[in-house]
Homo-oligomer: A and B are copies of this chain.
Amino acid sequence: MSALKERLAAIRGEVEDALARFLPSAEGDLTRLHEAYRYSSLEGGKRVRPALALLACEAAGGEPSHALAAGCAVELIHVYSLVHDDLPAMDDDDLRRGRPTNHKVYGDAIAILVGDGLQTQAFELLVREYGEDPALALDLVRLLGEGARKMVYGQAIDMAAPEHFPKEEAALEELHRHKTGALLRASVLLGARVAGLRPGEARYEALDTYSQALGLAFQVADDILDCTADTATLGKTAGKDVEQGKLTYVALLGLDGARAKAKALEVQACSALNEFGEAAETLRALAHYVVSREA
Give residues in A with beta carbon < 8 Å to B: 30-33, 80-81, 84, 87-90, 107-110, 112-113, 115-117, 119-121, 123-124, 127-128, 131, 134-135, 137-138, 141-142, 145-146, 148-149, 152-153, 155-157, 159-160, 174
Contact = CB atoms under 8 A, between A and B. Distances in A.
Contact of A156 (B90, B113, B124): B113
A123 B137 CA distance: 13
A90 to B, nearest CB: 5
Number of copies: 2
Nearest to A92: B109
A73 to B, nearest CB: 12
B113 A152 contact: yes
User: Per DSSP, are chain A's interface residues mostly helix, strand or loop, or mixed?
Assistant: helix
Given A89-B109, A146-B124, A153 B117 contact: yes
Contacts of A149: 117, 120-121, 124
A72 to B, nearest CB: 15
Contacts of A89: 87-89, 107-109, 112
Contacts of A131: 138, 142
A84 B116 contact: yes
A121 to B, nearest CB: 6
A145 B80 CA distance: 16
A138 B134 contact: yes
B124 A159 contact: no
A159 B127 contact: no
